[in-house]
Amino acid sequence: MSVTEADVRAALARVVDPSGGADVVSSGMLGAVSISGGEVRVVLEVDPAKGRAMEPVARAAEAAIAALPGVTRASAMLTAHSDSPSAPPPNLRGTGHGHAHGHSHGPAGGPGEPLRQAAKPQSGPIEGVDRILAIGSGKGGVGKSTVSANLAVALAAEGRRVGLLDADVYGPSQPRMLGISGRPSSPDGQTILPLRNHGVTLMSIGLLTPEDKATIWRGPMLMGALQQMLRQVAWGRLDVLIVDLPPGTGDVQLTLSQKAEVTGAVVVSTPQDIALLDAKKALDMFEKTGTKVVGMIENMSTFVCPCCGEETQIFGHGGAKAEAERIGAPFLGEIPLDIDVRLSGDAGVPVVAAKPQSPQALRFREIARKLIGAGYA
């Protein structure tokens, strides 16, 4: 028998918050419900001031869900929600009580202990991180995450100590691209230990949630999660932390510029006019937030037929270079549209690692060397 969202809601309707006297469903506390096979995760949105006092309610919610037929593991994630921009970050793990398989350890702490907010400043430099390089696009679908992953591996191949923060909370793709799976751990319930592959240290919401499930968070929750991933992750000593931004010019971009000292930003665009229109918005956003644009990359620049060798400019050509010249920013290079780049990313081995001597990999290495030479990585 498979459990349904209606079953979960019915079970949680019997869990009462003693402080308010209402159940977690009717009180509006219940946020997202995620069901994957027999594993059920729920998000409970609570007043930040009552976070620790609400842990018994979270455990009661887990017990109610775990008692449902067909449930093998239940997890309730306490998330601090507030309309105030000063709201503390949400807990990035659930208390994690299991059913048939015992305790489900999340990315931090032991069972029943959510990740605590670290007693660290919430703005300014990140301990151990020399530079922060934001990768933005203004538009989805231009291959920004692919560029971020390959650029990170290329910088590591050039001898740099590299971290990659997947800040696209709604569409995290870096775990797949870097071939990383499993949950980060935390020995003290306060600091998250990131995972590593291809010489790159990675943190991503995608490591904490099922790959096929949506993250449904409001703005303050999103900003809190970003701050935790910036400041409560044990990045170690890094020459550069690459931040793979989501498309657009929203909360994540603004929070990053306000809460961290960003060394510079790289804007990725395809050559076509539609993509460049949104790239210009990203450029304008970085200017307004005081973030220096250290270069532009033209992705999917040309296509070379693997059969006949003919070069085709599918999306046009040279648009990003012309825009870089217009604003006086360095043009870092062109990346061709190539099936090996796509296949290697899907396989979890970026082309820079999979085929290090290929023309595509050498383009990324050249861009990496330009950034290092200019002091940005």
State the CATH number of the domain containing residue 44.
3.30.300.130
pLDDT of the residue at 134: 93
Distance CA 96, CA 114 (A): 9
State the CATH number of the domain containing residue 330.
3.40.50.300
The proportion of the chain whose per-residue pLDDT surpasses 70, expressed as a percent, equals: 81
Asked whether residue 204 falls in the same domain as residue 297, the answer is: yes
Contacts 24+ apart (CB under 8 A), 247-251: 247/137, 247/138, 247/139, 247/140, 247/141, 247/144, 247/168, 247/278, 248/138, 248/139, 248/140, 249/138, 249/281, 249/282, 249/284, 249/285, 251/219, 251/222, 251/223
Number of domain units in the chain: 2
Consult the annotation and say whether 142 binds a ligand: yes
- Domain boundary pick from 70, 85, 115: 115
Asked whether residue 7 falls in the same domain as residue 145, the answer is: no
Asked whether residue 264 falls in the same domain as residue 144, the answer is: yes
Within a domain: 206: yes
Consult the annotation and say whether 140 binds a ligand: yes
Within a domain: 67: yes
Consult the annotation and say whether 138 binds a ligand: yes
Q: In which band, very low, low, confident or very high, does the pLDDT at 157 lie, cut at 50, 70 and 90?
A: very high
pLDDT one-digit tens code per residue, 51-65:
677 888 889 999 999
Consult the annotation and say whether 21 binds a ligand: no
Asked whether residue 185 falls in the same domain as residue 69, the answer is: no
Asked whether residue 106 falls in the same domain as residue 169, the answer is: no
Consult the annotation and say whether 288 binds a ligand: no
pLDDT one-digit tens code per residue, 283-325:
888 888 888 999 999 988 777 777 877 777 777 667 778 888 8
Asked whether residue 54 falls in the same domain as residue 167, the answer is: no
- Mean pLDDT in residue range 233-248: 91
Lowest mean pLDDT among 3-12, 27-36, 112-121: 112-121
- Domain boundary pick from 90, 115, 140: 115
DSSP string for 78-143: EEE--SSTTPPPPPSSB---BSTT-----SSSSTT-PPPPPSS-SSSPPTTB--EEEEE-SSTTS-
Asked whether residue 137 falls in the same domain as residue 266, the answer is: yes
Q: In which band, very low, low, confident or very high, does the pLDDT at 270 lie, cut at 50, 70 and 90?
A: confident
pLDDT one-digit tens code per residue, 78-126:
765 444 333 334 455 443 333 332 223 333 333 333 344 443 445 678 8
Within a domain: 298: yes
Distance CA 172, CA 203 (A): 10
Asked whether residue 233 falls in the same domain as residue 102, the answer is: no
Consult the annotation and say whether 75 binds a ligand: no
- Mean pLDDT in residue range 25-29: 84
Residue 320 lies in domain: 132-373
